Structure 1
Amino acid sequence: MQTADQPILKTQGLTKRFGGLVAVSGLDLEIRPREILGLIGPNGAGKSTTFNLISGFYKPTAGDLYVFGENCTGRSPLTISRKGLVRTFQHGSLMRSMTVRDNILLGTIHWVSDAAARRQRMEETAAMLGLTAYLSEEAGTLPHGLQRLVSIGIALAPRPRLLCLDEPLTGLNQTEVTNTLTVLQRVRDEFGSSVLLVEHNMKAVMKVCDRITVLHHGQHLATGSPAQIRADRQVIDAYLGHRHDH
């Protein structure tokens, strides 16, 4: 079982090959309790593959995956999610023809048994995301930014111990980005959850993350605080380039 100071999630030597391509190579990664960890790197760095490995959608070619102190290597996505790891998908995971209310309720089904408790969980989640006014709207008719928040709401409804977000800020305007970052901090502070954030928006990652892990060509390049990553010469050369001051 997991102890208080143990990582929520840990990989050791995690490797994934697709034929001759090594997408992730010997990755050691740790997510600590109550932290927001950013996972960044250039396109093709292995971020999405890593995300799929830790959520059970890909089985590793080699290496181990520990979730909440338990070896979950090769386990199914359902087994891993039932331990308290919930993920979003890059292109959203909402049901477009259903209302916002029913979408968020969907997120509670396997986790909250009582109908009244499910409804209360849905209302709390919607309020946290600023979606209360849209509960009766069909999700697919909402602006892109609100659809993104609905997807986060579905993932947030189970109150996961680890919330894994795959590029949740794509296509959001500045106000929506700021609101979403506030939500992530509240998820950590109010629910005690950890958050894994795979994201291209560097400014947002630097602002909200406690630590950042950088991947390059499927390998671990660096892990540290935003300030450490911003100043890391290897990271600047591989990824941040001249944009590291922004």
Structure 2
Amino acid sequence: MTTEILLKVEKLTRRFGGLTAVSNLSFDVQKGEILGLIGPNGAGKSTTFNCVSGFYPASEGRIEFLGEDISKMNTAQVCHKGLVRTFQHDSLLSDMTVYDNILIATFSTISVKSERVRRVHETAEILNLSDHLQEIAGNLPHGLQRMVSIAIAFAIRPKLLCLDEPLTGLNQTEVGGALAIFRRIRDEFKLSILLVEHNMKAVMEICDRIVVLDHGVFLADGSPLEIKQNPAVISAYLGKRA
């Protein structure tokens, strides 16, 4: 069976002055998979995310999305290609309704008003937000605000959805609900997910494959079971947590 590579990162290096945050990093994301990107604080996960999504240009290396070099593209250009990300902190228009938050996201890809409205309601249903569309986003509990942030990104219907610590601050029930949503959007919309997350139980449960970073360099790549049993990963990050 041939796998289709959606995102290919080759020898990515990102420097900030004399500090090298990511060094010679290579990995890929395959079509239809949920790939976890994990590692200790300072491992280079956020920097990698920022390079992939166009927030930082790569100092060296190449980033390909759907076979096209996006290494020097800005965030808007990368988003237009179908690669969209969320942030660790909720990126909401907090004084506007949930409906308007999602609606605004659709303007970049949908020109017909009726189609934008349909997209908002479809997205809200999938993210379990239908009952909250007329509520002010900033007044919602933290867990629902997280879902609104994801809804904004998902409303664009990306080919690759990059989620930056989406489970932070969620309780066990909310985590379970979020994982079910991630699976649903992957399965129904045939998109891929790149997930940065510190909740190792959730990562091991939902990811098809995991890439591990440590001090800005590649450490390991494998299935959740392979990563859990990898001595280098256990020593550098997991310990006995997984």
- What corresponds to 2:193 in structure 1? 195
1:209, 1:191 → 2: CA distance? Answer: 17
Separation (CA, whole Å) in 2 of partners of 1:141 and 1:199: 25
**Runs of 4+ off more than 3 Å:** none
Name the aligned partner's letter for residue 16 of structure 1.
R
CA deviation map 1:70-104 (0-9, x unaligned): 11111111111111001111101111000000011
**Structure 1: distance between partners of 2:162 and 2:137:** 22
The one-letter code sitting in structure 2 at the alignment partner of 1:65 is: I
Contact 2:34 2:207 in 1 (8 A): yes
Aligned to 1:50: 48
Mapping for residues 16-31 of structure 1, pairs under 5 Å: 16-31=14-29
Secondary structure of 1:130 counterpart: coil
TM-score by length of structure 1 reads 0.96
Q: Which residue of 2 aligns with 1:115?
A: 113
Q: Which residue pairs with 1:127 in the alignment?
A: 125
Q: CA RMSD in A?
A: 0.9
Matching residue of 2:205: 207
CA–CA separation in structure 2 for the residues paired with 1:179 and 1:106: 25
Identity %: 58
Aligned to 1:178: 176
Q: 2:200·2:241 contact (CA, 8 Å) conserved in 1? A: no
1:226 matched residue in structure 2: 224
Contact 1:108–1:157 (CA<8 Å) still a contact in 2? yes
Q: Give the gaps of 5 or more residues in structure 2.
A: none
Q: Secondary structure at the match of 1:242?
A: coil
In the alignment of these two chains, the number of paired residues is: 241
Identify the residue that residue 11 of structure 2 maps to in structure 1: 13
Quick check: 72-81 or 145-154, which moved more? 72-81
TM-score, length-normalised on structure 2?
0.98
Counterpart in 2 of 1:74? 72
SS for the counterpart of 2:5 is coil
Deviation at 1:5, TM superposition (A): 3.7
**2:106 partner SS:** coil
